[in-house]
Amino acid sequence: MAGFSLDLGPLKEPLGFIRVLEWVFSIFAFATIGGYTGTTHFTVSCPDKDQPVEAFFAYPFRLAMKSYCRPLCNSSSFTETYLQGDFSSSAQFFVCVGVFAFLYCTATLIVYLGYRTVYLQTSRGPVIDLLLTAAFAFLWLVSSSAWGKGLTDVKYATDPNRLVELCTSCKAGEFPSMGRLNASVIFGFLNLILWAGNCWFIYKETPFHKDPAPPTTMEEGGAPGP
């Protein structure tokens, strides 16, 4: 096997340039959801004063494990209440796809830029690359759709208007900021477009994509073959 030889030429081609975009957008996808923390607010209106209540939640959104304390009017005690729902499966699946996509992009960029001749030496490299890229495109479709639905459920479960439905003395407060989570879904579907589109450029490197053979012409005055 030939040694490592850095060549930045593939970055000027769609195959390498799109792979760099996939590398960047996969980071954006899992970074915008991982480490997220949010807070939903409402207020308990007592005769003497209003007492604010904050309910914290975070990735991976096992909301049923997050409790908050609601004060009782005319008393110094609190009622411990839990948020509802567990949306960790879709969130963690989305992050897992993003991390593995990032690692695969890193590995293939090393091959494109350092072992280009080895990559094109046989048809095995482009074919494997095509199959894995198509698989990641499918995973981005599934994970982004699942997390989009999960995010909708998270918004519903942390909606302060819903949390105060059973509390007559409570008033809804500020809705939790979820701009990062909305961006993660957008990045997920952008990754889907990038990975699905890149399949065409990888397909052109495989033996499945062959230019039609030019028609054979008889020499002028020659007799046709049998």
* CA 130/CA 117 separation, integer angstroms: 17
- pLDDT tens-digit readout, 167-207: 778 888 889 999 999 999 999 999 999 999 999 999 988 87
- % of the chain exceeding 70 in pLDDT: 90
Q: Would you state the structure tokens that stand for residue 76, as one six-digit string?
A: 């110094």
- pLDDT tens-digit readout, 54-68: 889 999 999 988 888
Its pTM stands at 0.85
Question: Residue 82: is its pLDDT beyond 60?
Answer: yes
168 vs 82, more confident: 82
Q: Would you state the structure tokens that stand for residue 15, as one six-digit string?
A: 């195959």
* Residue 44 to residues 53, 83, 155, 171, Cα–Cα distance (Å): 7, 17, 21, 6
219 vs 79, more confident: 79
Structure-derived torsion over alpha carbons of residues 19, 24, 30, 36, reported in degrees to the nearest 10? -170
Span 80-90, average pLDDT: 91
Reported confidence tier of residue 2, pLDDT bands at 50, 70, 90: low
